Structure 1
Amino acid sequence: MKVILTHEVTGLGAAGDVADVKDGYARNFLFRRGLAVAWSKGGQAQVDAIARGRETRAVKSLEEAQSIKGNLENGTVTVSAHAGASGRLFGAVSSSDVAAAVKAAGGPELDRRKIEIPTPIKSTGTHSATVRLHPDVVANLTLEVVAG
């Protein structure tokens, strides 16, 4: 089944891409989570609109992405979260929290959908995350989660 991705799906493609997937995967995963829509003849206009939106949000050049990567990897981003006495968080740190902390620290405005947290952050301490700045550039963030 051909689908048009409306959001980035790891291992499948970016928003605006047309992918050929199994029917069950499309119906049970992609459509239910709003990650894709079925391909149709009129879908090309939607693909073009998604591509234009992606271009406006994307980091424009490889050199700019490399400089942002250098700035992000050299420092530590401090994220404040509500925690108990033992250091366990009430909830978890989300990609939106990380994006807000980077912006508050004077860094660039990051798209929360480009931030990947490999394991849920549910305690204070040092953790890591990755940010896809460009198709060829991935930055590794060091996060310091503090009780706040």
Structure 2
Amino acid sequence: MRLILRSDVSGVGNKGDVVEVTNGYGRNFLLPRGLAFVATAGAESQAEGMRKSRDVKDAAARQAAEEVAKKLVNSPVTIPARVGAEDKLFGSVTSADVVEAILAQKDVEIDRKQVQLHDPIRTIGTHMVPIKLHANVEFPVTVEVVSDAD
């Protein structure tokens, strides 16, 4: 069954894509939920417009992400934390702490989910934290964790 997607569907395609799906999946899932409509000759030209609109929005989002990356890439972010013996932290520095520090010091608002910190930071020092703002824009931010007694 040939369908045109009205919105992004994970594992199937993006808005405006003409996709070939099984009859049951299209008839029982995509069509009733309004996620797609049947591909006809006229509808395919409409889908082309949807794809162009998506591409323009994607380009604008990518450019905005690159501007934010330029601001953050070469300037470290400092996070004060309580430190115990052997320079180990009381607690840890999480992605939420990194987002909060970036907002306070660089005046740039990013989402916590965009910070690709796999494990919390548990020691003082300089750490490279990857941030992914867009599918094609990923960059490291230097995070300096310092003792708050300094």
Matches for 1:112-127 after TM superposition, within 5 Å: 112-127=112-127
The 3 A distance-change label for structure 1 pair 83 and 134 is same
CA shift digits 1:103-137 (9 cap, x unpaired): 01033111001101244311100011111111110
Query: What is the match of residue 48 of structure 2?
Result: none
Greater Rg over alpha carbons, structure: 2
Which residue of the partner structure matches residue 80 of structure 1?
Answer: 80
Report the equivalent of 2:71: 71
Could you tell me which runs of 5 or more consecutive residues in structure 2 were left unpaired when the two chains were aligned: 1-7, 13-28, 36-57
Correspondences of 1:21-40 after superposition (within 5 Å): none
**CA deviation after TM superposition for structure 1 residue 17, in Å:** 4.5
RMSD of aligned C-alpha atoms?
2.8
Residue aligned with 1:143, SS? strand
Change (3 A) 1:98 1:41: same
TM-score where L is the length of structure 2: 0.59
Structure 1 unaligned regions, length at least 5: 1-15, 21-39, 47-57
Give the paired residue count.
104
**Identical columns (%):** 31
In 2, distance between residues paired with 1:146 and 1:42? 55
TM-score of the pair, normalised by structure 1: 0.59
The residue correspondences of 1:103-114 to structure 2 (distance < 5 A) are 103-114=103-114
More helix by share: 2
